[in-house]
Chain A
């Protein structure tokens, strides 16, 4: 049972837009940054978004992040087959004094 809640899967056709939600509480997302990681099949995760909505330089602007209250959202526009991966959200939890993750969302390009 993950501390942060994500939908198990989302899917869309190439070129379409998907959004992935990440729900937490005041002890984590509500008072700390949210980070997103992309895990392509058979590989290690990679940083996709940091401090809620900042992209590392190599990440295309098709990826966006936002946070509101105790929830966060990752958006992917212009979906490509290369975007098929698992996406994890993460945040620090003040009560647990630990980093916590969502269970991951599998993105499928139809």
Chain B
């Protein structure tokens, strides 16, 4: 079945970087984009950006421009989200999902299990 499995929880200090991985299986990886979203504790969902495994194209939410990098490795069918210059308000659950796009097409299905990133000194 289609599945996205994310890496484990991370504890980082302010100013550090974090890189979360998302291993895809059960479908042709290059045929679907990968979207990253986050959810702060007790809060709603926030779109961070999208990456195409087919050609590496990306689209980032303006809020994260310059601070986030979305990449993929087609040889291992894995997507990555790197967030730099971490602050305490970056503490959140980070999700990768199959689908979506940088132009509003498609939907998010399925979702990874989430990776908790905690930023604390």
> What residues make up the interface of A, taking CB atoms closer than 8 Å to B?
2, 32, 35, 37, 44-47, 50-51, 56, 88, 90, 92, 94, 96-104
Contacts and interface: CB of A to CB of B under 8 A. Distances in A.
Contact of A46 (B35, B44, B110): B110
A106 B59 CA distance: 31
Contacts of B59: 97
Contacts of B46: 101
B61 to A, nearest CB: 5
A21 to B, nearest CB: 15
B80 interface: no
Interface of B: 35, 43-47, 59, 61-62, 95, 100, 103-104, 107-114
B44 A2 contact: yes
A44 B109 contact: no
Contact of B47 (A32, A46, A101): A101
Contacts of B104: 32, 92, 94, 99
A35 B44 contact: no
A101 B44 contact: yes
Given A96-B62, A98-B61, A99-B104, A45 B47 contact: no
Contacts of A97: 59
Given A45-B95, A47-B107, A92-B104, A99 B112 contact: no
Given A44-B114, A92-B104, 10 more contacts: A32-B104, A45-B108, A46-B111, A47-B109, A47-B110, A50-B109, A51-B107, A99-B47, A99-B104, A104-B44
B62 A44 contact: no
A94 B62 CA distance: 13
A65 B44 CA distance: 20
24 contacts: A35-B108, A37-B45, A44-B95, A44-B113, A44-B114, A45-B45, A45-B108, A45-B111, A46-B110, A47-B107, A47-B109, A50-B107, A51-B107, A88-B45, A92-B103, A96-B62, A98-B47, A99-B35, A99-B100, A101-B44, A101-B47, A102-B44, A103-B43, A104-B45
